Structures are given as C-alpha cells and as structure tokens.
Amino acid sequence: MAGCVNYISPHVTRCSPRASLSLSFSGDSVHSLFRRSPSITAPRFQVVVAAEKAEPPPSPLKIMISGAPASGKGTQCELITQKYGLVHISAGDLLRAEIASGSENGRLAKEHMEKGQLVPNEIVVMMVKDRLSQTDAEQNGWLLDGYPRSSSQATALQGFGFHPDLFIVLEVPEDILVERVVGRRLDPVTGKIYHLKYSPPETEEIAARLTQRFDDTEEKASQYLYICFCFSRKIKGNRPKEEVFTQIDTALSEMLQQRNTDPSSLLS
C-alpha cells in the first residue's frame, strides 16, 4: 500500500490471546494477518496522499521588434500576435495618439517627426512605460513595435524594469528598402497602405487621393537605417512574408524551449 497511513481506531470485538496487531505492514502482511485471525474486525484507516507542489505558470512573453520603414514589420507583428496572443504596442501609434490629442508633448513630437528626427526620450519613454504597465500587457505578454531605437532609450526602459525575452530586427538591404519606401502610399480615407509597383490601388479614384507619408522619402529612409541596424537578433527580411515569419517563429520557439529547460540562462 503506497502513501501515508493514519491509524484511526481498531474496533476489536473478539481477539485470541495469541493474536497480535502490528501497524508496520505491507499489503500482503495485512492480508495474512486477517487471514490468520478471522476473529479480528479490520481496523479503519485513512489514507493521506501528499499533493505535489504545483509549478508556477510561465511568465508571459516580452518581445521587441525593430526594422526600417517598409521592412515588413507591420505584417510580422500581425503574425506574431495571432500565434502567441501578445499585446501589440506600437510606439508610433502611441505618438500619433498623443499628437492627435493636441497636447504639448504631441506638438513637440510632431515637430521632430516632420524633420525625420527621433522624438526625445523624455516624451516617449513615459508613454511606453505606462502602456507596458497596463493589465492586458502584464497578463498576456507584449510585442513592443518600433521602440527602443537607441541605446539610451533601451537603458531608460531597463531602468523601469522592462527586459525583453527576445529583440528581433528585420534586415533588408538598403536598396530594397529605399525602393519599397519611395513607392509606398497611404489612403487617408481607409488607412490602407499601397505600393505603386507591388500593390497598386484598385481604382483611379483611390489613386487620386493617395498621399506619401512625410517619412517615406529616400533621404529619411537612409537616415533611419543606421539606427535600426545597430541591434541584434537579426532576421532576413528580404524574403516572402511566410519565410520571414518562419525565422521569427523558430527564434521564439527556441527561446521558449530554452527558458523552460534552463530559465537562468536567459537572465542577464
């Protein structure tokens, strides 16, 4: 008999003078004891099985992704969030919301963005910090898109206790990036992104209203390359989107497996 045994009380109605009752037993010894002494009523026992200590649930994934304009980052963010259930947090979306609100920070951010410059850290880092601290991001994990873009921004996030499990950088050759960027157009009515060569608008009406984003120029795309390419882990982004996602998915799967088998190896 396996487990811990608590002896409660034997109810003995009749007992032979030579009969003895031992509490140190196995299943066979109990059977033999009762077979040799039929006059003994079997005592009642309570079996207590110690429950195994439950393992704590794994912490949610924390991923950062970076890439130059037209590197395919938006597409990969959609694929990652669909498979892993992460909360997609775009620094660009946070900034645009701030600008739309008409706040002082939004006004200052707009001035820098229109010049193709990075928005000062003190403006962005608090917005990002507050979003990462919300309940949905803490419970489900997050995919931080387009931030940090410099070592000082990364240091600021680390100071608030935000450390990614994996930092993904989409690498695309500069000539391909420039071609993608300068041909990209935005439909201000629907928000859909077109490309004059690879994904042209469906109708002349749509084509007539398309606009070019202020940062979608050859000069500003080239300025951004230096910032984006100073990070690692690098993913080859000049391939079909399915192949790009396969690279990312493999990296995430390997990281998860390593974290499950040796969590200390991911601490730094």
pLDDT tens for each residue of 101-134: 888 888 888 888 777 777 788 888 888 998 999 9
Q: What percent of the chain has pLDDT over 70?
A: 68
Residue 98: the pLDDT is 85
Residue 203's pLDDT band (boundaries 50, 70, 90)?
very high
Q: Phi first, then psi: what are they for 206, rounded to 5°?
A: -65, -45
Cα angle for residues 20, 25, 29 (degrees, 5° grid): 75
- Judged on CB neighbours under 10 Å (0-12, 13-18, 19+), 43 is middle
Q: Is residue 196 part of a domain?
A: no
Q: Is residue 105 part of a domain?
A: yes
Closest residue by Cα to residue 109 from 23, 215, 17: 215
Domain span including residue 252: 62-173+226-261
Q: Is residue 78 part of a domain?
A: yes
Domain harbouring 164, CATH code: 3.40.50.300
Q: Is residue 182 part of a domain?
A: no
Q: Is residue 192 part of a domain?
A: no
Structure tokens at 60: 């949610």
Q: Is residue 116 part of a domain?
A: yes
Average the pLDDT over 217-225 and give the result.
47
Q: Is residue 67 part of a domain?
A: yes
Q: Phi first, then psi: what are they for 29, rounded to 5°?
A: -65, -35
Domain count for the chain, please give it.
Answer: 1
- Taking phi over 0 as left and psi of -120 to 50 as alpha, with beta for the rest, 191 belongs to left
Q: Is the peptide bond before 148 cis (omega within 30 degrees of 0)?
A: yes
User: Could you tell me if 217 and 182 are in contact, meaning their C-beta atoms sit under 8 angstroms apart?
Assistant: yes
Whether the per-residue pLDDT at 80 is higher than 90: the answer is yes
pLDDT tens per residue, range 5-61: 444 444 444 444 444 433 344 445 444 444 544 555 555 655 555 556 666 667 889
